[in-house]
Chains A and B, each alone.
Chain A
Amino acid sequence: MENVTCPFCGLACDDLQVDVAAGMPVPVANACATSREAYRRLAPVPGLTARVGGTPVLLDVAVARAAQILGHAINPLFGGFATDLSGARRIVQLADRCGAVIDHMNSTAKLRNLLTVQDAGWITATLAEVKNRADLVVLLGTDAVSRFPRFFERFVWNEESMFDLDPRSREIVYVGQGLDMRAGCAPDGRAPTSIPCRVDEIGEALGAMRSLLAGLAPQAQVVAGVPLPQWAELLEKLRNSSYGVIVWAAPDFDFPHAELTVQTLSALIKDLNRTTRVCGLPLGGSDGDFTANGVLMWQTGLPFRSSFATGIPVYEPHLNSTQRLLDSGEADALLWVSAFNPNRVPPRTELPTIVLAPPGANFEREPDVFIAVGTPGVDHAGHYTRTDKVVALPLRKLREIGLPSVEAVAASIEASLQQAAN
Chain B
Amino acid sequence: MGLLKFAGGRVFDPEHGVDGVVQDIFVRDGRIVAAPGSDADIAQEIDCRGRIVMSGAIDMHTHIGGGKVNIARSMLPEDHRGDPLPRTPLTRSSCGYCAPGTLAAGYRYAEMGYTACFEPAVLPVNARQAHMEMGDTPIVDKGGYVMLGSDDFLLRMLAARQDQRAINDYVAWTINAAQAIGVKVVNPGGISAFKFNQRYLDLDEAHRYYQVTPRHILKVLAQAVHDLGVPHPLHVHASNLGLPGNVDTTLATMQAVEGLPLHLTHIQFHSYGAEGDRKFSSGAAQIAEAINANQNITADVGQIMFGQTVTASGDNMTQHRNSGLASPKKFVVMDIECDAGCGVVPFRYRDKNFVNALQWAIGLEIFLLVNDPWRIFLTTDHPNGAPFTSYPHLIKLLMDKSYRKAMLATINPDAAAMSTLGSIDREYSMYEIATMTRAAPARLLGLKDRGHLAPGAAADIVVYRDDKDVEEMFARPQYVFKDGKLVAQDGEIVAVSWGNTHVVRPEYDASIEKQLKPYFDLFHSMRLENFGISDDELCECGHGSKAMPHACRNGRVR
Question: CB distance B80 to A124 under 8 Å?
Answer: no
Contacts of B338 in A (CB 8 A): 128-129, 132, 162
A125→B323 CA distance, assembly (Å): 17
Contacts of B103 in A (CB 8 A): 299-300
A273→B336 CA distance, assembly (Å): 16
Interface residues on B, range: 35 or more
B107-131 Cβ-contact flags toward A at 8 Å (1 or 0): 0000000000000000101101100
Contacts of B132 in A (CB 8 A): 85, 294-295, 298, 383, 392
Q: Return the chain B residue nearest A296 by Cβ.
A: B101
Contacts of B76 in A (CB 8 A): 118
Residue of A86, A123, A302 with most chain B CB atoms under a 10 A cut-off: A302
Question: CB distance A299 to B94 under 8 Å?
Answer: yes
B275-286 Cβ-contact flags toward A at 8 Å (1 or 0): 000000000000
Question: CB distance B330 to A381 under 8 Å?
Answer: no
Question: CB distance A300 to B334 under 8 Å?
Answer: no
A188→B451 CA distance, assembly (Å): 63
Tell yes or no: A51 within 8 A of B by CB: no
Given contacts A303-B74, A311-B87, contact A126 B80 (CB under 8 A): no
B224-232, B256-264, B384-392, B520-528 - the one binding chain A: B520-528
Given contacts A299-B103, A300-B101, A302-B77, contact A312 B85 (CB under 8 A): yes
Tell yes or no: B69 within 8 A of A by CB: yes
Contacts of A119 in B (CB 8 A): 330
A219→B338 CA distance, assembly (Å): 42
Interface residues on A, range: 35 or more
Contacts of B182 in A (CB 8 A): none
A270→B331 CA distance, assembly (Å): 10
Tell yes or no: B492 within 8 A of A by CB: no
Contacts of B527 in A (CB 8 A): 3, 14-15
Contacts of B525 in A (CB 8 A): 126-128, 131, 154-155, 391
Contacts of B104 in A (CB 8 A): 301
Contacts of B537 in A (CB 8 A): 394
Contacts of A128 in B (CB 8 A): 337-339, 523-525
A386 to chain B, nearest CB (A): 8
Question: CB distance B330 to A121 under 8 Å?
Answer: yes
Question: CB distance A302 to B95 under 8 Å?
Answer: yes
Question: CB distance A300 to B95 under 8 Å?
Answer: yes
Contacts of B71 in A (CB 8 A): 117, 389
A407 to chain B, nearest CB (A): 10
Contacts of B102 in A (CB 8 A): 298-299
Question: CB distance B330 to A120 under 8 Å?
Answer: yes
Within 8 A of A (CB), among B512-558: 522-527, 529-530, 537, 540-541, 543
Contacts of A89 in B (CB 8 A): 136, 543
A133→B86 CA distance, assembly (Å): 46
A242→B198 CA distance, assembly (Å): 12
Residue of B94, B96, B344 with most chain A CB atoms under a 10 A cut-off: B94
Given contacts A121-B344, A126-B525, contact A312 B86 (CB under 8 A): yes
Question: CB distance A301 to B94 under 8 Å?
Answer: yes
Question: CB distance B128 to A315 under 8 Å?
Answer: no
Question: CB distance B332 to A129 under 8 Å?
Answer: no
Given contacts A162-B523, A298-B73, A390-B336, contact A85 B541 (CB under 8 A): yes
- Indicate which residue in B326, B334, B540 contacts A383 across the interface (CB closer than 8 Å): B540
Tell yes or no: B65 within 8 A of A by CB: yes
Given contacts A126-B335, A128-B523, contact A301 B100 (CB under 8 A): yes
A286-299 Cβ-contact flags toward B at 8 Å (1 or 0): 00000000110111
Contacts of A127 in B (CB 8 A): 337, 525
Within 8 A of B (CB), among A344-403: 381, 383, 385, 388-394
Question: CB distance A3 to B529 under 8 Å?
Answer: yes
Contacts of B331 in A (CB 8 A): 121
Tell yes or no: B365 within 8 A of A by CB: no
Contacts of A123 in B (CB 8 A): 320, 332-334
- List the interface of chain B (C-beta within 8 A of A): 65, 67, 69-71, 73-77, 80-81, 84-87, 92-96, 99-104, 123, 125-126, 128-129, 132-133, 136, 152, 156, 194-197, 209, 320, 323, 326, 329-339, 344, 522-527, 529-530, 537, 540-541, 543
Could you give 23 example pairs across A and B, Cβ below 8 Å? A85-B132, A86-B540, A123-B320, A123-B334, A124-B332, A126-B525, A127-B525, A242-B197, A276-B197, A277-B194, A277-B196, A294-B70, A297-B74, A298-B102, A302-B80, A311-B86, A312-B85, A313-B93, A313-B94, A313-B95, A313-B101, A390-B125, A391-B526
- List the interface of chain A (C-beta within 8 A of B): 2-3, 5, 14-15, 85-86, 89, 93, 96, 114, 117-129, 131-133, 154-155, 158-163, 242-243, 270, 273, 276-277, 279, 294-295, 297-303, 308, 311-315, 381, 383, 385, 388-394
Given contacts A162-B338, A298-B73, 12 further A-B contacts (CB under 8 A): A121-B326, A128-B524, A129-B335, A132-B523, A133-B195, A276-B197, A279-B335, A299-B103, A301-B99, A311-B87, A312-B86, A390-B67
9 tightest Cβ-Cβ pairs between the two chains A and B: A301-B101, A301-B96, A312-B84, A121-B330, A392-B128, A128-B525, A127-B525, A128-B337, A121-B332
